[in-house]
Amino acid sequence: MTDFSAARRHMVDGQVRPNNVTDLRVISAMLEVPRERFVPPAATALAYLDLDLAVGEGASVRCLLKPMVLAKLIHAAEIEPTDRVLDVGCAGGYAAAVLARLADHVVALEQDASLANTARAALSTLPNVEVVGGPLVDGWAKAGPYDVILLEGATEIEPQAFCRQLKDGGRLVCVLGLAPGASAMLYRRSGSELGGRAIFDASAALLPGFAKPAVFAF
DSSP track, the chain: ---HHHHHHHHIIIIIGGGT---HHHHHHHHHS-GGGGS-GGGGGGTTSSS-EEES-GGG-EEEPPHHHHHHHHHHHT--TT-EEEEES-TTSHHHHHHHTTSSEEEEEES-HHHHHHHHHHTTT-TTEEEEES-GGG--GGG--EEEEEEEEEESS--GGGGGGEEEEEEEEEEES-TTS-EEEEEEEETTEEEEEEEEE---PBPTT-SPPP----
Q: So what's the pLDDT on residue 180?
A: 85
* Structural domains for the chain: 4-201 (3.40.50.150)
Q: So what's the pLDDT on residue 215?
A: 65
pTM of the model: 0.94
Q: So what's the pLDDT on residue 58?
A: 64
List the chain pLDDT tens, one digit each, 218 residues: 679 999 999 999 999 999 999 999 999 999 999 999 999 898 999 999 999 999 877 666 789 999 999 999 999 999 999 999 999 999 999 999 999 999 999 999 999 999 999 999 999 999 999 999 999 999 999 999 999 999 999 999 999 999 999 999 999 999 999 888 899 999 999 999 999 999 999 999 999 999 988 765 55
Q: So what's the pLDDT on residue 56?
A: 75
